[in-house]
């Protein structure tokens, strides 16, 4: 909805591939950045699987990071660096729980 409002009311130039396709990597206009974010959001929201390999993640994350940084006037938003440290699969929590259980067993 937000992308639709921005492209219709914000005076943005249409990306070279249009609003509903992934823009070319050399398309650096704000409209292309928004179209990139929209594209990857839709890919993730409608994906039949909930995982991806590291190479795919790195490629897609690089494009999303570039778009967000560009929209933020070239400054990397602090949320971008924070998100890479999220424990999405709970591995840190599992490790801590195992260590805690071992400590309790010793006691």
Residue 24's pLDDT is what? 92
Mean pLDDT value of segment 5-32: 88
- Residues 44-54: tens digit of each pLDDT: 889 888 888 88
The predicted pLDDT at position 83 comes to 81
d(CA 77, CA 80): 6
pLDDT digits (tens, 9 = 90+) for 62-94: 999 999 999 999 998 888 888 877 777 777 778
Q: Is the pLDDT of residue 39 over 90?
A: yes
The C-alpha angle with vertex 77 and arms to 72 and 83, in degrees rounded to 5, equals 140
Q: Which two tokens stand for residue 20?
A: 């509903």
- Extract the runs of DSSP E, i.e. beta strands, from 22-73: none
pLDDT over 90 at 36, yes or no: yes
- % of the chain residues with pLDDT over 70: 99
d(CA 105, CA 80): 40
**16-36 per-residue burial string, b: 16 or more CB within 10 A, e: under 16:** eeebeebbeeebeebbbbbbb
For residue 99, report the phi and psi dihedrals to the nearest 5 degrees. -65, -40
């Amino acid at each position: 909805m937000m992308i639709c409002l921005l492209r219709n009311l914000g005076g943005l130039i249409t990306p070279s591939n249009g609003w509903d396709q992934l823009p070319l990597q050399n398309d650096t206009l704000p409209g292309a950045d928004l179209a990139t974010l929209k594209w990857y959001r839709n890919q993730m929201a409608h994906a039949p699987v909930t995982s991806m390999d590291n190479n795919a993640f790195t490629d897609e994350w690089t494009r999303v990071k570039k778009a967000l940084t560009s929209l933020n006037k070239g400054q990397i938003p602090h949320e971008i660096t924070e998100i890479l440290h999220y424990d999405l699969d709970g591995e840190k929590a599992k490790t801590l729980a195992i260590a805690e259980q071992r400590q309790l067993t010793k006691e």
